[in-house]
Amino acid sequence: MSEELVGNVLVGQSGGPTAVINASIEGVIAEALNHDCIEEIYGALNGVLGILNEDFIDLAAESQQTIRGLRSTPGAALGTCRYKLKKQADFERVLEVFKAHNIRYFFYAGGNDSQDTSHKIHLEAVKRGYDMRIIGVPKTIDNDLPHTDNCPGYGSVIKYNSATVMEVGFDVSSMATDDGSCCIIEVMGRSAGWIAAGTVLAKRGNPDNPPHIILLPEIPFEEEKFLAKVKETVDAHKYCIVVVGEGIKDTDGHEVGADKTRLDAFGHPVLAGAAEELKEIIQGKMNLKTRTVLLGYAQRAAAHFASLTDTTNGFACGEAAVRAAMDGQSGQMVKIVRTTAADGSVSWSTGLQPLGDIANVEHFIPKDWISDDGFMVNEKFVEYATPLIEGEVAIPTEHGLPKYVVLEKNKVEKKLAPRA
Amino acid sequence: MSEELVGNVLVGQSGGPTAVINASIEGVIAEALNHDCIEEIYGALNGVLGILNEDFIDLAAESQQTIRGLRSTPGAALGTCRYKLKKQADFERVLEVFKAHNIRYFFYAGGNDSQDTSHKIHLEAVKRGYDMRIIGVPKTIDNDLPHTDNCPGYGSVIKYNSATVMEVGFDVSSMATDDGSCCIIEVMGRSAGWIAAGTVLAKRGNPDNPPHIILLPEIPFEEEKFLAKVKETVDAHKYCIVVVGEGIKDTDGHEVGADKTRLDAFGHPVLAGAAEELKEIIQGKMNLKTRTVLLGYAQRAAAHFASLTDTTNGFACGEAAVRAAMDGQSGQMVKIVRTTAADGSVSWSTGLQPLGDIANVEHFIPKDWISDDGFMVNEKFVEYATPLIEGEVAIPTEHGLPKYVVLEKNKVEKKLAPRA
């Protein structure tokens, strides 16, 4: 332990929120309170934008109740952004702001881009000889960060999506009469198919259960093969539930549902979306009644059915980030490590991986976890994913709705002139 | 009490499932077991189709565990259908099947069409002098049956949808930076706007909370007014959450998103859907980043976040149907009756309404429950809807997913030749 570096903590959130990104922030705050060398605990509003604009809030001033409530609150309580630091002037501003507020510890929860940002800020601090600790906290429903067993947010999204697939399956199967029907559920995942694949858990080991087909962005979409598989399923069960990852591409590499020839007045392509496109194909070629579900943001915000395992790991990643910094580490990302006992039970711990190993590396589903026909994932995937959705989070409710928290956001006084 | 009519019970489910339609079936079974004049308790598979085809199962043979599990299982456990009895031959067949199986009690859970079907079967039985009791059990997420305070299924769908709007609101607001963003959540409701309106509960009394705009099928859609309202909202909050009922129509009465000029090979119109159409309008005219959520079947199947009030009322409607039949009633539908005490607390009971008063009457949102600008419902609606979502149903889980039940479906031996 080398706790000699006295100063303030800054924590921020970046990219798309997850159901558990606030649990990681709670973990950072809870652990930071344990260390005397930490004087203030600040939050950056809207990620690096908040750093550039000096928009900080005082997290130690929030009530304990509020900080505790972060564990089960969706969205990013500090706000997030998609802004990328690119110019050298941006990095200089970040360091200037850090110095002005004596920020000696920076924890940034995010996905690939955000780990890259943290890495670059770390290198800038080293270059300038500014003594500080920068630790990345993993976060992404996409589960596409390398080196970590899984990414906080992923377990919760596949738990909710799997429950939804189960429930839609109960609904559609109960309406299935001889003329058959189909339901296509579109989930997130633009390049990696982890989210779509995770809905295999809805089968609960029974191959007859939905989802009957999972379309992964990793596997080129072939219309004829797909229609044959839908027909085979409807012949067997009178209904068919298809889960599609939003980013599926045809054999020419074109996104399904992204007809770029129709542009609106601002030049945006008018996207039908993968599920709508598949619906048109099925109805148009098979005359089979087809409905769609597009979960969109609902899937990553569904804290009301989050995974306890995922939430606990998300919290642990926040805690571990602070402990690593106290140990003198910097330029590292916390990773989740799985240990499987002889009896098959799984336990979780955390480790560290250099940020340079994470940034801009995308982790895909191993090829041998995908079934031969490309329409399903196999028991290797199921073994991997099953422990991630274990346990439910007891959320407080009020008048029948979840009771989530909102930060007070007491602003920290600015010390610099606004950036140019 | 006139329990002299000895014979068998038949129960069936019709139309789109709800999260609590099985709770009503559980109520029928639980109450039927209390009466000695009831010999067998049969279920009709897929509603009236099961009657025409003599597809009955023995519900008394199911385990108590399974019947208990119906309370929190989505879909229609007996199967449902959209088939309508029209021909006189159909009604004759129904009565023939009833006689063959000594069906003296028929309970049918469904919406408008199904109550009409029950009414017609009742009239046919009376005409033929076949002594039996027919009681309708209300069911529909659309909440559009008259005379009943609310319809089982409605409270659960607006509870889940409101939680989803809240959660999406936490997500989108946390990403809101100066360039603004919009999210459109499409919910069911083709002609009545009860489902869309119900998401007002997500505001929890705070006008700044989402949803910021609710588009009801009852109010003609005016693009200019809508875009102005979106702009006003984004100017104030940096983001805007819109809830749209799938059946909204423009001032000419055309459904938004139903461009009937694009037909597929089978002549189906290629529907974009209301949310997609609104997204195109907003992005194309305001250059505002817009995403959509289409909850589809997921909203009516979301038993994992069902309303305890709704589930309890659904069960009570099943029980009440049997008790009414035991009292010698027939040709009635069970209705839910609300009693509001002086302190504002609400209690629930059941009553009866002649089926002839229900069939084909659609119940719309009272005009004075809708705000002047037509983009929101007011405190009268909130007062009505709030008690419907109270309480959560504890669902059993296994490996992180809900544990729902499936009936064994022991077939009852057929006694007739197949219908022509």
Quick one: which of B323, B324, B355, B334 has its CA closest to B125?
B355
What chain B residue is nearest to A186 in terms of C-alpha separation? B294
The SS3 of residue A235 is helix
Same CATH topology for A7-140+304-357+392-402 and A154-302? yes
The torsion angles phi and psi of B392, rounded to 5 degrees, stand at -115, 150
Contacts of B175 in chain A (CB under 8 A): 16-17, 76, 79-82
Quick one: which of A305, A280, A390 has its CA closest to A344?
A390
Whether residue A174 and residue B305 make contact (CB cut-off 8 A), yes or no, is: no
**A332, β-bridge pairs:** A135, A354
Side chain identity at residue A252, one-letter code: D
**How far apart are alpha carbons A31 and A24 in whole angstroms?**
11
Best B80, B162, B175, B390 member to test A by mutation, with max A CBs in 10 Å, is B175
Contacts of B265 in chain A (CB under 8 A): 284-285
The SS3 of residue B289 is coil
pLDDT by position in tens, chain B (length 420): 455 899 999 999 999 999 999 999 999 999 999 999 999 999 999 999 999 999 999 999 999 999 999 999 999 999 999 888 989 999 999 999 999 999 999 999 999 999 999 999 999 999 999 999 999 999 999 999 999 999 999 999 999 999 999 999 999 999 988 778 999 999 999 888 999 999 999 999 999 999 999 999 999 999 999 999 999 999 999 999 999 999 999 999 999 987 666 676 677 666 679 999 999 999 999 999 999 999 999 999 999 999 999 999 999 999 999 999 999 999 999 999 999 999 999 999 999 999 999 987 889 999 999 999 999 999 999 999 999 999 999 999 999 999 999 999 999 999 999 987
Residue B1: its pLDDT value, please?
47
**How far apart are alpha carbons B329 and B410 in whole angstroms?**
30
List the single residue in B163, B270, B276 with the smallest CB-CB distance to A280.
Answer: B270
Structure tokens at B231: 């702009």
Residue A32 Cα, gap to closest chain B Cα (Å): 24
Among A55, A90, A116, A142, the one annotated catalytic: A142
A358-382: per-residue pLDDT in tens? 987 889 999 999 999 999 999 999 9
What chain A residue is nearest to B395 in terms of C-alpha separation? A392
CATH of domain A7-140+304-357+392-402: 3.40.50.450
Whether residue A171 and residue B294 make contact (CB cut-off 8 A), yes or no, is: no
Structure tokens at A364: 């895909």
For the sheet with A7-13, list strands across it.
A56-58, A38-44, A7-13, A103-110, A133-138, A332-340, A346-354
Whether residue A17 and residue B82 make contact (CB cut-off 8 A), yes or no, is: no
Task: Say if residue A269 is preceded by a cis peptide, omega within 30 of 0.
Answer: no
- Please state which architecture CATH assigns to domain A154-302: 3-Layer(aba) Sandwich (3.40)
Whether residue B76 and residue A175 make contact (CB cut-off 8 A), yes or no, is: yes
Whether B310 is catalytic is no
What chain A residue is nearest to B282 in terms of C-alpha separation? A264
Whether residue B175 and residue A399 make contact (CB cut-off 8 A), yes or no, is: no
Contacts of A296 in chain B (CB under 8 A): 168, 183, 291-294
Residue A225: its pLDDT value, please?
98
Q: Answer for the pair A140, A110: CB distance below 8 angstroms, yes or no.
A: yes
DSSP 8-state symbol, A74: -
Best A160, A174, A312 member to test B by mutation, with max B CBs in 10 Å, is A174
Residue A2: its pLDDT value, please?
54
Q: Answer for the pair B335, B353: CB distance below 8 angstroms, yes or no.
A: yes
Structure tokens at A64: 């304990």
Residue B90 Cα, gap to closest chain A Cα (Å): 18
A299-344: per-residue pLDDT in tens? 999 999 999 999 999 999 999 999 999 999 999 999 999 999 999 9
Best A21, A80, A279, A294 member to test B by mutation, with max B CBs in 10 Å, is A294
Quick one: which of A361, A364, A306, A333 has its CA closest to A190?
A364
**How far apart are alpha carbons A184 and A190 in whole angstroms?**
17
Quick one: which of A264, A278, A142, A294 has its CA closest to B292?
A294
Whether residue A46 and residue B170 make contact (CB cut-off 8 A), yes or no, is: no
Whether residue B167 and residue A75 make contact (CB cut-off 8 A), yes or no, is: yes
Whether residue A81 and residue B177 make contact (CB cut-off 8 A), yes or no, is: yes
Structure tokens at B26: 């559980």
List the single residue in A49, A285, A391 with the smallest CB-CB distance to B400.
Answer: A391
Give the strand pairing for A290-294 and A103-110.
Answer: unpaired
ipTM confidence: 0.97
Band of residue A1 on the pLDDT scale cut at 50, 70, 90? very low
Fold of the domain built from segment(s) B154-301: Rossmann fold (3.40.50)
Taking the domains of chain B in order of start, what are their residue ranges?
7-140+304-360+393-402, 154-301
| Distance from chain centroid for Cα A44 | 20
Task: Say if residue B152 is preceded by a cis peptide, omega within 30 of 0.
Answer: no
The SS3 of residue A328 is coil
Lookup result for tokens 């009465």 = B253
Q: Evaluate if residue A3 carries a pLDDT over 60.
A: no
Residue A258: its pLDDT value, please?
77
List the single residue in B276, B291, B401 with the smallest CB-CB distance to A201.
Answer: B401
List the single residue in B168, B264, B284 with the smallest CB-CB distance to A284.
Answer: B264
> How many cross-chain Cβ pairs, A to B, lie less than 8 Å apart?
224
Contacts of A175 in chain B (CB under 8 A): 16-17, 76, 79-82
Residue B129 Cα, gap to closest chain A Cα (Å): 33
Best A187, A240, A401 member to test B by mutation, with max B CBs in 10 Å, is A401
Q: Where are the beta strands (DSSP E) in B52-132?
A: 56-58, 103-110
Among B55, B90, B116, B142, the one annotated catalytic: B142
> Does the pTM exceed 0.95?
yes
Contacts of B168 in chain A (CB under 8 A): 296-298, 301
Contacts of B294 in chain A (CB under 8 A): 292-294, 296
Residue A350: its pLDDT value, please?
98
Residue A56 Cα, gap to closest chain B Cα (Å): 15
Quick one: which of B326, B407, B316, B410 has its CA closest to B38?
B326
List the single residue in A79, A295, A309 with the smallest CB-CB distance to B174.
Answer: A79
Contacts of B237 in chain A (CB under 8 A): none
Q: Evaluate if residue A416 carries a pLDDT over 50.
A: yes
Whether residue B167 and residue A298 make contact (CB cut-off 8 A), yes or no, is: yes
Whether residue A390 and residue B399 make contact (CB cut-off 8 A), yes or no, is: yes
The SS3 of residue B294 is strand
- What percentage of chain A carries pLDDT values higher than 90? 90
Fold of the domain built from segment(s) B7-140+304-360+393-402: Rossmann fold (3.40.50)
